[in-house]
Amino acid sequence: MVYRSEPPTHTIAEKLAMANETSSSSSSSLPVVHEDEELIYGSEPGWVEARTSCDHLGSLSADLIHIPTPNTHCNRCHHPNENWLCLCCKDVLCSRFINKHMLEHYQETSHCVALSYSDLSVWCFSCDAYLDAQVILPLRPVYETAYLLKFGEAPPFRTG
């Protein structure tokens, strides 16, 4: 990510004052507002970079072509949403924001790599990080299969 290396020339209060002046004298205040939006997005605290490597892929299932459909319910509490697919044993379990069944599964079995059926992100509990399924080759097939099941078409990077 690229951060601004220099502080803004004006404070937010000054910019708002400028925007108000601009909008009262003419109809176009958009450039100033747009710049403020960029500043806000650039410092967004929730953003994390996905890892491009992981040392815990040795226990991945040998058959990740045949996986449960993305609308499968949690195997323990049958919650319909926010579920994860364990990429080691293909169990479908709910997220830490529902009843934490995937987290419990990791604590019980050490199966640490899971794919979200909500947004198809891949999480490694051992790395405590998201994994980039487009870069880490062992994760690509299951990502592609899940994407196909969820959206009915292959993901953009697919070559064959």
**Site residues (CB under 5 A) for Zn ion?**
54, 56, 74, 76-77, 79, 86, 88-89, 91, 94, 99, 101, 111, 124, 126-127
Tell me the closest approach of the beta carbon of residue 132 to Zn ion, in angstroms.
Answer: 12
CA R_g for the chain? 22
Q: Which is nearer to Zn ion, 88 or 139 (CB)?
A: 88
Q: Whole-angstrom Cα distance, residue 53 to residue 43?
A: 25
Nearest distance from residue 29's CB to Zn ion, in Å?
Answer: 47
Exposure class string for 58-91: b at 16+ Cβ within 10 A, else e? eebbeebeebbebebebebeeeeebbbbbbbebb
CB of 121 to Zn ion, least distance (A): 14
Query: Which residue, 124 or 146, is less far from Zn ion as judged by CB?
Result: 124
Neighbours of 5 (CB within 10 A): 5
Please state, in angstroms and rounded to a whole number, the distance separating the CA atoms of residues 54 and 159: 23
Beta carbon nearer to Zn ion, 30 or 77? 77
Distance in Å, CB of 47 to Zn ion, minimum = 20
In angstroms, the CA 132 to CA 103 distance is 20
Our CB check for Zn ion shows the closer of 127 and 148 to be 127
